[in-house]
Structure 1
Amino acid sequence: MSGHLIHIGYAKAGSTYLQRWFAANPQIQYAEGGIAGYRDIYDVARQSADPDPAIRCRVSSSEGLATPHPFVGLRDIDYRRMHGLQLPDAQAAVCHGLARLFPEASVLLVTRGFRSMMLSSYSQYVRTGGPDEFFALREGFGSETHPSRHAWDYDGLIRLYRKAFGERLIVLPYELLRDDSERFIRILEAELGLDHFPPPSQRVNEGLSGVEIRWYPRLSRLLRRLPVGARLQQRIFVHYSRAATDNRLRHLIRLLQRLSPAEPVTEALVSAEVLERFRGKAEALRREPLYAPYKEEYLL
């Protein structure tokens, strides 16, 4: 009988890379956007009628499970509708729902150090149409009213899933995947009882450069100010956000940077004061051997 792994994220912590490995591994049944390796309800019948004896683990994977919001899985995100999201309530509802549906499943949570998580998350924000400058947003990170206060509360999420799934919660650092993907994969395989299958050799979902991160929100704001009707503006913005998601405007940005140089957005712009707000949100990782080389990144 095959086991079930639920990979809940985090976003910007190697999810696309891991999903490629799930899809390629002959021991794993995984369907992008599906549940437990099934694409839809019809696939349950099809796979049951013609089972693959090589399958030893079924995988559900969505980074939006760790930080749920109304646009998870959609290409077009309206950030104006994200204000007021009660993230802790949504996280608890997801966890309890998964535990009711799959009480015997294992759960994989991949964390990322706070400073790089801030920048990488902002990069994802701007490439999906986010209009605000990093300089305007950074001071809000970790504040009482900012979603990141709960989004990157690793202790809170670990506590939630540990209570629901016990020792079947697997917590691993993204930094290990970044530095030694082979070791990361072997550790995960040991947890799941799988034979070794090598990780992908190429990077996937490569991030934006500091210059690109600076220019995309400028373009977003420009398009939002076009003197056209609301419906046409929305259609234009949808096409733009899809181009930004794939970084198809990088050549235009390179030209704009030559004409009007702008300061690149880098990790150095995350102030010590902002970073300090996240101290104490990763204490559950302090004694984990795999996190020992990365304690500074988690403020431990």
Structure 2
Amino acid sequence: MHRFVAHRFVSSLITMALASIVVFLSIHLLPGDPVVMVLGEQAGADPMAVARVRAELGLDLPLPTQFVRWASAVLHGDLGHSLRSGEPVVAELARRIPRSLEIIFGGLVAAVVFGIPLGTIAARDRGRVSGLIASIVAIAGFSAPVFVSGIILVLIFSLWLGLLPSSGYVALDDDPLTHFACLVLPCVAIGINFMGVVARMTRSSLIDTLSKDYVRMARAKGLTRGQAMTRHALPNALVPVIAIVGIRAGNLLGGTVIVEALFDWPGLSSLLVSACFARDYPVMQGCLLSIFAIFIVISLLIDIAQSIVDPRVRTGTK
């Protein structure tokens, strides 16, 4: 187990190193000049000021030298300063990342809590009304785009029932109850589509597992259908479900762009979008690097979880 975790950790570090190269090069290939962002109209009237700012930002150095300086600073926890506000990028990310992680974690919890039971019912009650209803709910969730489900949730729970805020953000320290009330709709909106994926994967995996010989043997030994499913079929059926949860968990970062805009939630994605419009390169680099890091950490945790559920994952056997 320790060797498996060490191997995955080293692989994650290599992936993160490659990701940093991609982030650095992609930002420098974008059109526009950050010096113009800093100087504004003065950039066209004062060539000396342009040269001075370019030297201060290190943009007059060769690209490999720029990367080495940037990577060294990143390793020391320095992502530079925003070209708009002058604030350290690390400080801004420290505020924004936890807010986005709240939505992602809440969406994952909602998807798993509702998706696995739906998939289990759909597999267990095939051909029955309950199984058909569970399948329909899963398909509806899978087919609904995030912005559609978000608007429907706002209409129902905010405008019609008046139970939850339609948008906005309140810090946890200021008012915990209002903070979680504002968090419910974004989490459910981003989790509905994922719930359909989890339910469909659980259903197909469980149907396949129920046909295995060891499940039939368990039934022959006197276990009821529910006991055989709970003790033998479901734990093994959850292995591919955990894998799809890990893959799609990283993809939820893309969904947060729409959710944060729809619910006016000041997270990492909204910071990246505003930085792109403003050509704020240090903030863009910090956001992209953080997104890569979150995705890689989630993948590492999912690999470890899979190895715990199914030891064959870490031994490489089938």
TM-score normalised by the chain length of structure 1: 0.21
TM-score normalised by the chain length of structure 2: 0.20
Highest Rg: 1 or 2? 2
Q: Higher relative contact order by CA 8 Å / sep ≥ 6: 1 or 2? A: 2
Determine which structure has the larger strand proportion and give its number.
1
Determine which structure has the larger helix proportion and give its number.
2
